Amino acid sequence: MDSENTTKIGLFQLIMLTLGSLIGSGWLFGSWEATKIAGPAAIISWVIGGAVIAAVAYDYVEIGAMFPEAGGMSRYAQYSHGPLLGFIASWANWISLITLIPIEAVAAVQYMSSWPWAWANWTHVFLKNGTITTLGLLVVFIFIILFTLLNFWSVKLLTSFTSLISILKIGVPALTIIMLTVSGFSPQNYGHTLHEFMPYGTAPIFAATSAAGIIFSFNAFQTVINMGSEIKNSRRNIGRGIFISLLISGIIYILIQSTYITALKPSMLAQYGWSGINFNSPFADLAIMLGIRWLSVLLYMDAFVSPVGTGVSFAASTGRALYAMQSNQHIPSFIGKVNEKYGIPRVAMVVNLLLSMLMVSVFRSWSTLATVISTSTLIAYLTGPVTAVAFRKMAPNFKRPVRLKNLGWMAPLSFVLASLAVYWAMWPTTVEVILVILLGLPFYFYYEYQAGFVDTRKAFFSSMWMIVYLIFISIMSYIGSEQFKGINWIHYPYDFGIIIIASLGFYYWGIKTARIFPDFYQAKELNDTVKIED
């Protein structure tokens, strides 16, 4: 998706762009949602969620540097396992991306709905019982259109806009941490015993990573991968951009979670408990409760800035992902048409805009959207470690600007962690998301029919491990422990043990079924363009 007018992105701009994606509505709502589920132990959930995503991201550094292309995360599985697995992975990833755009708009509108000023009473009808109303939905649509328009002309405009916003997005959470700590620091909220620290047990600590939007909050590392060929010195900057951004955002998220825990009044906790505290605008409500009115105003403003920055970044990533899906030749070709002047897939952006509107019309709450994003993203990520190791065996002579020393054990570890996190999303979310992914298969088989079913059988057997895996994780979600909303045939933590063992089996099965398809030779051509001496 290069053009002569495409501006290459440097490391600083890349980090700012990624932070602009990472620090979005997750910091505004994630801490509140996580403590409702796990109490003060939610702080551990952020560490676990960050570790899961960092492990997955590790695998993508090698293949991202090998194949630096726009929308790359929608292509890698196709290179190693053929069109069917490539379609499943790219469709799952795309579902998460078109959901990310409306969730940021919902976050902005939800904060608007609790504006405390008399002149703003008209905004209170935007939200009812945690769900966006029809009038609020129209405002969400306006935000989605805004996100798309800011990407519509050039990468240069995108990076100029998000670099400024990213600085603000780091500054406002930092100021919030300082002011709430100074004004209402109650470390006793962590509890004096293990039971008080983990009031609901250990299982909710894991559940919160997916159900409270923690995985979602770290998901944006793929912004770096999807920018691909638009990154200067991609050999070094892909890995640096991902891990510097994850480290900065992880520190911020953990500090924010701790601040939320200690800023609540002990008397409020005694009355309602962690699960009974309901806020529309968590940190703004806390600021008002502690008498810091000016901070609440700033937070209401940041409720625009943070989601807008993330929404803008993901409008770009989603356009590139759909562009890559079109190049897989399983959706209409006109969708992937790139504007020659600006080097941007404008039609793809418009399609994503319309489908984002449809998605938020069905799922109207922040927490529901966050869970859908987490699960669909993790299913797409499962192909990453398999593909990375499969290419070591299939293409040992491919150029590897980055050769990961610990891939041998990090790849199976990341596959297991991602599998557990899919399970943590809880029944019935796992099955619902898998069904949404399967809705894309008619497109795949239609275009296979158009092509005369060339290599369809081979592609099916090369993807069988993923198909059986999705059936397995759906069954496990249903018969698993009651802590994850299963029917408790398999009790906690034995359900974890079964998933770990089975996941390792699927991981090695996936590596063994990698095959050379015509897409492999496309990967070879792309890899030939890589310059090791960058």
Q: Flag whether pLDDT at 365 surpasses 60.
A: yes
Question: How far apart, in Å, do the first and last CA atoms of the chain sit?
Answer: 20
Report the C-alpha gap between 31 and 252 in whole angstroms: 12
More confident residue, 89 or 312: 89
Residue 9 φ/ψ, nearest 5 degrees: -100, 130
Q: Considering only 183-192, 221-230, 359-368, 414-423, which range has the smallest mean pLDDT?
A: 221-230
In one-letter notation, the amino acid at residue 366 is: W
**Within 10 A of 194 (CB to CB), how many other CB atoms are there?**
10
Q: Flag whether pLDDT at 1 surpasses 60.
A: no
Closest CA to 220 of 49, 343, 88: 49
Residue 232 φ/ψ, nearest 5 degrees: -65, 140
Alpha-carbon separation of residue 102 from 191, 355, 374 (angstroms): 37, 10, 14
Report the C-alpha gap between 454 and 490 in whole angstroms: 42
Q: Flag whether pLDDT at 371 surpasses 70.
A: yes
Q: What is the pTM of this model?
A: 0.85
Q: Flag whether pLDDT at 228 surpasses 70.
A: no
pLDDT at 411: 95
Q: What is the mean pLDDT of residues 98-111?
A: 83
Looking at the chain, the whole-number percentage of residues with pLDDT higher than 90 is 31
pLDDT at 236: 72
Q: What is the mean pLDDT of residues 156-160?
A: 53
Cβ(56)–Cβ(220) below 8 Å: no
Confidence of residue 383 (pLDDT cuts 50, 70, 90): very high
- Maximal CA-CA distance, the chain: 69
Closest CA to 50 of 306, 261, 245: 245
Cβ(133)–Cβ(349) below 8 Å: no
In one-letter notation, the amino acid at residue 416 is: V
Q: How buried is residue 152: exposed, middle or buried, by Cβ count under 10 Å (0-12/13-18/19+)?
A: middle
Report the C-alpha gap between 531 and 429 in whole angstroms: 43
**Within 10 A of 519 (CB to CB), how many other CB atoms are there?**
22
> How does pLDDT run across 458-516, given as a tens digit for each residue?
889 999 999 999 999 999 999 999 999 999 999 999 999 999 999 999 999 999 999 99
Strand partners, 131: 128
Alpha-carbon separation of residue 114 from 28, 299, 459 (angstroms): 13, 12, 51
Segment of 222-236, 297-311, 327-341, 370-384 carrying the highest mean pLDDT: 370-384
Q: What is the mean pLDDT of residues 330-349?
A: 62
More confident residue, 3 or 466: 466
pLDDT at 36: 93
Segment of 145-149, 182-186, 528-532 carrying the highest mean pLDDT: 182-186
Report the C-alpha gap between 45 and 236 in whole angstroms: 30
Cβ(401)–Cβ(452) below 8 Å: no
Report the C-alpha gap between 179 and 255 in whole angstroms: 13
Closest CA to 420 of 368, 477, 478: 477
> How does pLDDT run across 434-472, given as a tens digit for each residue?
888 888 888 888 877 877 777 788 889 999 999 999 999
Q: What is the mean pLDDT of residues 312-339?
A: 60
More confident residue, 152 or 374: 374
Q: What is the mean pLDDT of residues 276-286?
A: 85
Cβ(58)–Cβ(260) below 8 Å: no
> How does pLDDT run across 396-433, given as a tens digit for each residue?
998 888 888 899 999 999 999 999 999 998 888 888 88
Closest CA to 388 of 364, 408, 358, 418: 408
Report the C-alpha gap between 443 and 449 in whole angstroms: 10
**Region class of 233: left (phi > 0), else alpha (psi between -120 and 50), else beta:** left
Confidence of residue 344 (pLDDT cuts 50, 70, 90): low
Using alpha carbons only, how large is the chain's radius of gyration in Å? 22
Report the C-alpha gap between 460 and 465 in whole angstroms: 9
Q: Flag whether pLDDT at 162 surpasses 60.
A: no
Q: Which two tokens stand for residue 422?
A: 């899919």
pLDDT at 329: 62
Cβ(121)–Cβ(375) below 8 Å: no
Omega before 428 cis (within 30°)?
yes
HEC secondary structure over 372-390 = HHHHHHHHHHCHHHHHHHH
> How does pLDDT run across 45-82, given as a tens digit for each residue?
999 999 999 999 888 888 888 887 766 676 888 899 98
Concatenating the DSSP letter of every residue in 290-341 gives TT-HHHHHHHHHHHHHHHHHHHHHHHHHHHHHHHHHHHTTSS-GGGGPPBTT
Give the CA-trace dihedral at 519, 77, 409, 374, to 10 degrees. 160
Q: Considering only 143-157, 319-333, 472-486, which range has the smallest mean pLDDT?
A: 319-333
Concatenating the DSSP letter of every residue in 460-505 gives HHHHHHHHHHHHHHHHHHHHS-GGGTS-SSS-TTHHHHHHHHHHHH
> How does pLDDT run across 249-275, given as a tens digit for each residue?
899 899 999 999 999 999 898 888 888
Q: Flag whether pLDDT at 181 surpasses 70.
A: yes
Q: Mean pLDDT, the chain, as a whole number?
A: 83
Helix (H, G, I), strand (E, B) or coil at 344: strand
Q: Flag whether pLDDT at 4 surpasses 50.
A: no
